[in-house]
Structure 1
Amino acid sequence: MAMTRTRTVTADRRGPMDHLAKLLRLVQFADSALPVGAFSFSNGLESAIQQGVVHDAETLKAMVLSATRQAATLDGVALIVAHRAAQMSDLCTIVAADQASYQRKLGEEMRLMTVRMGRKLGELGEHVVKTPLLADWMEKVRSGATPGTFPIGLAIITSDLGIEVNEAFAVHQYGVAAMMLGAALRLMRISFLETQAILLEVNGTVEDMYEQVRAGTLSDMRNFSPVTDILAAVHVKAHVRMFMN
């Protein structure tokens, strides 16, 4: 009888520990300190500030919300498709999602951002995850057969770690907002209190955004954001730049 109780307690403890380990994996890959070079990019914010489009907390919040919506309908869809393909070890669909994500970015700097961060994430994943699917994808990235974008790398790694597709989507969305708000602290007169308030509000939209795109296919990916594209084009030839985009 005593032995049975001991086994029951051990099993009860093991379940919550598995959940906590999964939660920490989510935190690890959502962390702005993840060494993939996100600090080098502003996702168009630098140009928006230089051109006066963003000039205070309200306009910053509006741009971050716009950027996360755009991310959801473009890279978010690619991530969802790639994550589900990774569950079936379907490398062909993963490569198709990777190419679609890259090709639908109009700006040179946006393409630079996604492949720089994607390849760094892939290298990191090879060190800490070490799965055949990730290795196969990275082999294609290194050979030039596929670009190696960030959302696709994130999809493969999170799938391999047992993170659900909706959670992987949330990690990606959080990363977009956190990148821009971190850049804002270096680019404009705003406090960390204001940026954290914006981040909390933006995070509250992720469920609705996921519901809007969860059933999307690669042909549903869209990237209509003309102001952002114009600002990105202006940034390429800007005389003074702190960030790569």
Structure 2
Amino acid sequence: MTIPARAMLLALQHGDSAFPSGGFAFSQGLEAASQLQGHLGPFDLETFIRGQIRHRWARADCVAMIRSHRLGGDLVATMELDLEIEASTPAEPLRLGSRRNGVALLTAHGRLATPQVSAYRSLVRAGRAPGHMAVVQGLAWRGIGLDEATTITVSGYQCVMALATAAVRLGIVGAIEAQAIVGRSLPLVEEIAAEDIGDDDRLSSFVPLAEIAVLLHGRSEQRLFSN
């Protein structure tokens, strides 16, 4: 299948780290897990990234995003999905990080006049919805014309790159080694992208060590990332 040039350019624009989505401040537990090896066991970056992709992104973020995409701008149903994410994310730092990223993405797309985004941003600002990142991605990326397959690809790529970039900033690996790990991790995103997602698939995530690390990380006064 040939991807139209317009769709590819949109994917590159909105998947780029320069797009103001706010995600640079969060490491999804990577910083804490790498620093708490004495408490949580050995840390391996590639294993951490693959675990996050398979056991968190694939069955939680990706499912929520595609369900949001399929709602087609039904804001009432979108709010219900948003609250489902809120209820299914027990670790407060991850919950707050998702909401902050979502609000940042809503703000950016609101200024770009992406359809439905300003209306949903008003609901979030009124406290009627939390504005989680995956929900906003599905809503906004459908609004700019990205199809489901491209939406999944952009989201998975961002997840891998955000973790790899965080590792470089923390000095865990160098830039070249990070790119090698990214190259070995992206086929997993491709594999997951080929899996079916049902309209009523429930959200599930199982990364207990990362969540424990995030909670312990919240007590530290010396940290680079918020989670």
Per the normalisation by structure 2, the TM-score is 0.91
For 1:52-131, list aligned pairs within 5 A: 52=37, 53=41, 55=43, 59-69=44-54, 70-86=56-72, 89-131=73-115
Question: Which residue type is aligned with residue 243 of structure 1?
Answer: F
Residue 54 of structure 1, CA deviation: 5.7
For 1:1-245, list aligned pairs within 5 A: 19-52=4-37, 53=41, 55=43, 59-69=44-54, 70-86=56-72, 89-131=73-115, 133-215=116-198, 217-218=200-201, 220-245=202-227
Is 1:68–1:173's contact at 8 Å kept on the other side of the alignment? yes
Cα distance in 1, alignment partners of residues 46 and 113 from structure 2:
35
In the other structure, the counterpart of 1:11 is none
Is 1:73–1:213's contact at 8 Å kept on the other side of the alignment? no
Q: Structure 1 residues 54, 126: CA separation in 2 closer, same or farther (over 3 Å shift)?
A: farther
Is 2:99–2:133's contact at 8 Å kept on the other side of the alignment? yes
Residue 118 of structure 1, CA deviation: 0.5
Cα distance in 1, alignment partners of residues 132 and 42 from structure 2:
27
Higher mean C-alpha deviation, range 192-201 or range 208-217: 208-217
Q: Any runs of at least 4 consecutive aligned residues in structure 1 with deviations exceeding 6 A, and if so which?
A: none
Cα distance in 2, alignment partners of residues 97 and 211 from structure 1:
23
Residue 216 of structure 1, CA deviation: 5.4
Question: Which residue type is aligned with residue 63 of structure 1?
Answer: F
Question: Which residue type is aligned with residue 189 of structure 2?
Answer: V
Cα distance in 2, alignment partners of residues 178 and 108 from structure 1:
23
Task: Give 5+ residue unaligned stretches, structure 2.
Answer: none
Q: Structure 1 residues 136, 237: CA separation in 2 closer, same or farther (over 3 Å shift)?
A: same
CA deviation string 1:53-84 (max 9, x = no partner): 565xxx10010011112111011111111101
Q: Structure 1 residues 90, 216: CA separation in 2 closer, same or farther (over 3 Å shift)?
A: closer
State the SS of the aligned residue for 1:212. coil
Residue 150 of structure 1, CA deviation: 0.9
Is 1:83–1:155's contact at 8 Å kept on the other side of the alignment? yes
Cα distance in 2, alignment partners of residues 129 and 54 from structure 1:
46
Aligned length: 222
Cα distance in 1, alignment partners of residues 157 and 113 from structure 2:
22
Instruction: Please say which structure displays the higher CA radius of gyration.
Output: 1
Cα distance in 1, alignment partners of residues 62 and 196 from structure 2:
8
Residue 217 of structure 1, CA deviation: 2.1
Is 1:77–1:213's contact at 8 Å kept on the other side of the alignment? no
Q: Percent identity?
A: 26
Larger relative contact order (CA 8 Å, sep ≥ 6): 2
Residue 91 of structure 1, CA deviation: 1.6
Residue 51 of structure 1, CA deviation: 0.9
CA deviation string 1:92-142 (max 9, x = no partner): 2211221122221111111111111101101110111332x2222111111
Per the normalisation by structure 1, the TM-score is 0.85
Is 2:61–2:134's contact at 8 Å kept on the other side of the alignment? yes
Is 1:129–1:157's contact at 8 Å kept on the other side of the alignment? no
Structure with the higher helix share, 1 or 2: 1
Aligned residues: CA RMSD: 1.8
Question: Which residue type is aligned with residue 125 of structure 1?
Answer: H
